[in-house]
Every structure is written in C-alpha cells, then in structure tokens.
Amino acid sequence: MDTSSILTLVALVLSAASVVITGLFSIRTARISHELEEQREQRAEEQSALKAAERVYEPLAQAAAELQSRIFNIVETGWIGMQKRYESHGDYAVTSTAFLFAHYFGWIEARRQAVLASSGEGGRDVSVQKYIDGVLKVLRRSDDSEGFLFFSTEQRAIGELMLSWETVSDTGLRIPNVLGYAGFAAKYRHDADFRAWFTPIDTGMSLVAKGDNRRLVAIQHSLVDLIDQLDPKRKYTAGYALEPIDLSDGIAPNEPPKR
C-alpha cells in the first residue's frame, strides 16, 4: 500500500472516529438537556402545586378559625347555653354549627383538588399537609366517643358536596366556590339525604349537653395548630382569639362570641 493510500485510509478512519465521537457527544448533550428540562418541569410543577394550594390558604384559614371559634363558644357556654343564646333565631345554633364543619371540609377539598389539578400529586406543601392530616385524624378518631366523628371518606364526601368550580372564560383559571350559609341552610333543612351526613354533630351535641367536651377540645386544639401553619402572622385571622382551650382549671379562657 503506497503512502497516498495509507493517508487516505487514515483520513477515513479519523473522519469516522470524528463522526462517532460527535454522535456520542450529541447523545450525551441531548440526554443532559432532557434531564435538565425534566428537572425544570418538576420544579415548575412543584411551584405550581404550592401556589395552587396557597391560593386557598386564606379561606381555609378563615374556615378553620370560624369552626374553632364556634367550638370554643360551645365549650365555654355549654350546648344548652348556646341554644339559649340563639333561641330567637330558630334552629340557627344547630344549623350554623353543622355549616361550620361543612365549610371547613369544603375548603380542605378545594385545596386538595387544586393541588391535584396543578401537578398530578398532592401534599407538596408538606408542613401544612401534616397539620391538615392532624385535624383529619382527630375527627375520625373514636377513642373517646362517637360524637363529632367523621371518617376520612365522609369528610371528603361532605367537602365534595360543598365545593364547585367556576372557570374564567378568557384565562381558563378555575376558581373554587364553597357553598355559603344560605345555600347550605336550605339543603340542610329540606334535603334529608344531605342532612344525614351531619348525624355525628347531633350525636356530639347530645354528649356536650351532658358535659362531655373531650372531642370538641381535641378538635379545637388541632385546628389551632393548623391555623398556626396556614397563617402564622395572623394575616387572615386577625379577628379571632386563637388559643387552645384549657380545661385544667375547669374554665375555658374568655373569648368574645362570634356568630
């Protein structure tokens, strides 16, 4: 083989090697680019999920504050005292107490669906989720009594019944709407199937009337813990005295009554 042929062969080999090396680098670059893009999408999804959850922090914190306030007042005055306070308003004491539980469940469901719709996964705001789970577990626990006992699926079912979504036509943004008191009261008073979901409240009130407040105190404590996470600076719940009920001396701390 003459020198010219050898040089030609070497050139071909080097050319082929260059093509292979270039191809390998291209594959590696594409793989790295794909991995970086996946990481960016994952971070975007996590941020989107967190923002979706945070959009309902304000109404959820307020719903939790209203419910714990009602519990506080029931423990402070007793159920009979609560009924007497509102006796001029018919069944307001019973209906509004059921509503405050349902309203809380509605905003919990709104948060859950908002996170799922944004990323396909829930629980991205881990610290808040921990305390939401804390309330859920207290509500479904039956160690002390059957009063105010809502199993996990019942809590979600009530939340689903309370929740609807409104879509903004020009942006596609979905806005959660939780049934207000007027709509709730009408269904609670006239729809037996709907009212049946709230039997645990009737059972609980019977126990409270006998002086058994253990369940309510545990629920109120877990709600206060949740509010501390949702609204640590009291931006959304400034009008509420958010102190855990202390029955160590047999007397609940004083709080202004809230309707």
Question: Do residues 66 and 103 touch, judged by C-beta distance below 8 A?
Answer: yes
Of the candidate ranges 11-20, 41-50, 152-161, 246-255, the one whose mean pLDDT is the lowest? 41-50
Q: Convert the pLDDT of each residue in 65-108 to its tens digit.
A: 999 999 999 998 887 787 788 878 888 999 999 999 999 999 99
pLDDT above 70: residue 114: yes
Show the tokens assigned to 154. 């019942």
Around 92, how many Cα atoms within 13 Å sit in the side-chain half-sphere?
A: 11
**What is the pLDDT at residue 207?**
86
The closest alpha carbon to 44, from 112, 124, 113, belongs to 124
Q: Which of the two residues, 189 and 212, has the higher pLDDT score?
A: 189
**3-state SS class at 256:** coil
Q: Convert the pLDDT of each residue in 120-164 to its tens digit.
A: 444 447 788 899 999 999 999 877 667 899 999 999 999 999 999
Whole-angstrom Cα distance, residue 76 to residue 245? 9
Question: Do residues 162 and 198 touch, judged by C-beta distance below 8 A?
Answer: no
Q: Which of the two residues, 5 and 115, has the higher pLDDT score?
A: 115
The closest alpha carbon to 63, from 116, 125, 115, 106, belongs to 106
Of the candidate ranges 136-140, 184-188, 196-200, 202-206, the one whose mean pLDDT is the lowest? 202-206
The mean per-residue pLDDT over the stretch 226-239 comes to 92
The closest alpha carbon to 161, from 116, 206, 232, 103, belongs to 103
Distance of CA 43 to the CA centre of its chain: 21
Q: How confident is the model at residue 118 (pLDDT cuts 50, 70, 90)?
A: low
Q: How confident is the model at residue 44 (pLDDT cuts 50, 70, 90)?
A: very low
**What is the pLDDT at residue 255?**
45
pLDDT above 60: residue 211: yes
Please provide the average confidence, as pLDDT, over all residues in the chain.
80
